[in-house]
Structure 1
Amino acid sequence: MSQCLRQHQCMPTNDDLRRTVEAIAAEVRAEMARQQKSQRDMAAALGMPQQVLQIRLVGRRSFRAEELALVAEVLGVPVTNFFAHTGEHAA
């Protein structure tokens, strides 16, 4: 067993998880802005209430995997685009 696993040094902290959720939300917001998609239009395309989308977009709640995949599909980008800056706080 690696030292990392034995000492739990690789396990994300609550702060790490919060930063990841916020970074993903920021990437989604940025892509929506690039495409000039409003929250209303995006929520309608996703089939979710605008309030739910807004909570996800500010990072108060994380996007579920299937939601994020649908967001990527609606925006026409790879889902991996939303993870571009999630690892910057590591190390």
Structure 2
Amino acid sequence: MATLLTTDAIQSKLSELPDWSLNGKTITCTRTFKNFIAAVDFVNRLVEPAEAAGHHPDLAISYNKVVIELSTHDAGGLTEKDFALAQTISAID
């Protein structure tokens, strides 16, 4: 099982991810696109990196907005896996 990060480690890692915020035991990012098709295209580009990492975000699509939430559910909170995937997601246009 993955090791939970300390509060200090979480804050440090969040400082490197300006588009992400802490929401309880998750980190969250909202991306806005020109339309629904662009939003779904972005979600489709998340599939390969999420599968490769063996870590899958919780996603919500509302027309042109995609809300991404990451948490390591089996560990009960935030781990290195969440921040590694957040970095990868942040690099996807």
TM-score interval for Structure 1 and Structure 2 normalised by the shorter chain: 0.3 to 0.5
The TM-score normalised by the length of structure 2 is 0.35
The TM-score normalised by the length of structure 1 is 0.35
Structure with greater proportional helix content: 1
If you compute each CA radius of gyration, which structure gives the higher value, 1 or 2? Answer: 1
Structure with greater proportional strand content: 2
